[in-house]
Amino acid sequence: MSNKTDAGFEEIRRALDAARSICVASHVRPDGDAYGSCIAMALFLRALGKDVSVWNEEGLTAKFGYLPEGSIVTKPSAAPRDFDVLLALDTSTKERLGSVLGGLGRVGTWINVDHHASNHRYGDINFIGDAPATAQIVYDYLRFAGADITEEMAVNLYVGMSTDTGSFQYDRTSPHTFRVAADLIERGVNVPLISQAMYDSYPRRRIELLKALLNSAWFGCDERAASFSLSLETIHRLGVLPEDCEGLIDHLRAIEGVQVAVFFEELPEGKVRVSMRSKEPHYDVSRICGIFGGGGHAQAAGARIPGELSAVEEKVLEVVCNEIRKHN
């Protein structure tokens, strides 16, 4: 399913087989797909006898403490380390690896495996698959490589697939996705238990945050666009952690008639993190975010935009509304 300029699994296998030391890494603000893909792949590589490190800028966040073997994930080392292979998963640009880059010394081969169409193909070997989650590509790779997919690996892959598909709802959730999920369940995933850990275990702090956001919700272009914004002031007042914000935008998208939902989050470094979701593929939010230097998928994308919160809101919502009006 990779395009012509991309490698196949065979090329990835040759590079991994030849490597002794491998760093598996993923993006800043890690989600279930980032962690699940990295942990499952690392467990496989470790079983092959490789010297494996799993790095993320944030280490393992408390929210994902339920992931089996999650403690394999660490923050990057302070002093640069050399690796035969850097395997980036679910990461559309090199920069999105964040502080991982500072922990890298000499890297023999960069392998880039992802499912974001906007991926910059920064690897020596690139595999950008048409899949709803990187975890699904990792599963396909593990089957290709003849891996013994253990229960721990299965749970991690299931979490990656469930979270990135919005519980098997979003675009690109295919028959293959359900077949993979079924196989993972047969390998030991306890669906009610893991679903509770994923979706029914939020701290109360997150609900206080949601209350504040909904109080500030904005609706425009005949209520087909909706947004809310999180200021640094609210972040400090409620003690919000970055992980609290994941998924809140779905409350806007869930409103009848809303076609495009936007979440603005003020960052300390004078930038605004913008997340965008659309209900139908013809509102391509990755294109809108691309105008502002970001990217992602047609129905889920984001950007980091320099500027004041209110100025960024105004600029972005104007583009969103123009896009919506085009499809009248």
Q: What are the residues binding Mn ion (CB under 5 A)?
A: 33, 90, 134, 164
- CA separation, residue 11 to residues 6, 61, 66, 141, 231 (Å): 10, 33, 33, 11, 46
- CA separation, residue 117 to residues 1, 89, 297 (Å): 12, 14, 6
Least distance (Å) between residue 316 CB and Mn ion? 23
SS3 251: helix
Least distance (Å) between residue 175 CB and Mn ion? 20
Least distance (Å) between residue 246 CB and Mn ion? 12
> With respect to Mn ion, which residue has the nearer C-beta, 137 or 230?
137
> With respect to Mn ion, which residue has the nearer C-beta, 84 or 114?
114
19 exposed, middle or buried (CB, 10 Å; 0-12, 13-18, 19+)?
A: buried
> With respect to Mn ion, which residue has the nearer C-beta, 53 or 119?
119
DSSP of 193-237: HHHHHHHS---HHHHHHHHHHHHT-EEETTTTEEEEEE-HHHHHH
In the numeric block, which tokens belong to residue 44?
Answer: 């496989």
Q: Which residues are CB-contacts of 237 (< 8 A; sequence separation ≥ 6)?
A: none
> With respect to Mn ion, which residue has the nearer C-beta, 27 or 224?
27
> With respect to Mn ion, which residue has the nearer C-beta, 7 or 161?
161
Q: Which residues are CB-contacts of 226 (< 8 A; sequence separation ≥ 6)?
A: 217, 218, 219, 220, 252, 255, 258, 260, 261, 262
Least distance (Å) between residue 312 CB and Mn ion? 25
> With respect to Mn ion, which residue has the nearer C-beta, 33 or 152?
33
> With respect to Mn ion, which residue has the nearer C-beta, 33 or 266?
33
Least distance (Å) between residue 43 CB and Mn ion? 19
Least distance (Å) between residue 160 CB and Mn ion? 7
Place of tokens 């850990």: 197
Q: How far apart are CA 241 and CA 64, in angstroms?
A: 13
Q: How far apart are CA 303 and CA 288, in angstroms?
A: 9
Q: Which residues are CB-contacts of 206 (< 8 A; sequence separation ≥ 6)?
A: 244, 248
Residue with CB nearest Mn ion?
33
Least distance (Å) between residue 115 CB and Mn ion? 6
Least distance (Å) between residue 27 CB and Mn ion? 9
Q: Which of these, 289, 297, 320, lies nearest to 220 by C-alpha position? A: 320
> With respect to Mn ion, which residue has the nearer C-beta, 84 or 90?
90
